[in-house]
A and B are shown apart, each in its own frame.
Chain A
């Protein structure tokens, strides 16, 4: 039980009766309370070991009785799953249910890089076109603003809906 303050009496080496002076009728001189310190230690031990003991027992049991990894050659034509790269059963469990493997992260990162490179190339192209148009000043360029397309699409959808419901005042149907 992690109530080590109860062992204090056993471990006490210093007696407070050594430094007695005339003390208004009390034999032991007053001293500050140790209650808060003892209570803190008790709480610390209790709450740490409340989960510490079960988890420690579980980890010890699994490592002693269920952990039997053997390094083997990868069979031909077989791609091991991500958790099959680790020997410890707890690591395998966490990797299988809660983790994304390095291979997937790597390939997703490659795709993100490709996407960002595409966006960057398009931006470079636009800037080059602007530069060319600004150099000569002889081309009537229609500039492209990609953020206006959203509102244009919304407006077009609205137009189609109102025409469907109310009709077009120019077309006689």
Chain B
């Protein structure tokens, strides 16, 4: 029973220095609660199912007529939900990168690097470290999130986001890809 408890709570109980303290803390705080919960589980009876809400997809804002208020409202609500979901996705990718660095950096004072000096692992462009791929995925996703939702304010609407895309496409049509600079206005030179 003690071995299986330690399997359930493996954090640092086999540490050479702090294992005893961890086991003591576990025995004082966690073990009584786990025992109590197991006793109650026998009394409680059958588990009751509960579900998470599912939101069916509705037409997006580009598929709604201008004066169809119901369609626009639903598209807006879906847009707000999608923003939250995609924000959480970015959080997951960031966590993955942090965990990758934490796992790979090793231990001891050599692995301690102040925050402003970057990661303790080599994630510069062109590195072949496995955390570089994770960082690239996170940065690409972050960039796409900013392209879609950035600079729209605290409470954006689906119309604002849609028109932001339209303005970006028009800008790209006139000046080339974003990041390559604006073209100056020279009609006289082209006519000559």
Contact = CB atoms under 8 A, between A and B. Distances in A.
A and B assemble together: yes
Interface of A: 64-74, 80, 84-87, 89, 102, 110, 113-114, 117, 121
Contact of A85 (B51, B67, B74): B51
Interface stretch (B9-17, B40-48, B133-141, B153-161): B40-48
Contact of A74 (B45, B54, B67, B73): B54
A68 B45 CA distance: 8
Nearest to B45: A68
B51 A114 contact: no
A110 B74 CA distance: 8
B53 A64 contact: no
B40 A70 contact: no
A156 to B, nearest CB: 36
Contacts of A117: 67, 69-70
A68 B46 contact: yes
B89 to A, nearest CB: 21
Nearest to A110: B70
A71 B52 contact: yes
B43 A113 contact: no
B69 A69 contact: no
B15 to A, nearest CB: 33
Interface in B56-73: 67, 69-70, 73
B54 A70 contact: no
Contact of B40 (A64, A89, A113): A64
Query: Which among B44, B51, B52, B70 has the highest number of chain A CB atoms within 10 Å?
Result: B51
Nearest to A88: B50
B49 interface: yes
Contact of A70 (B50, B53, B67, B73): B50
A86 B54 CA distance: 14
Nearest to A83: B50
A66 B45 CA distance: 8
B51 A68 contact: no
A121 B68 CA distance: 11
A117 B65 CA distance: 14
Nearest to A74: B51
Contact of B47 (A70, A80, A85, A114): A70
B69 A113 contact: yes
Contacts of B46: 68
A114 B50 CA distance: 33
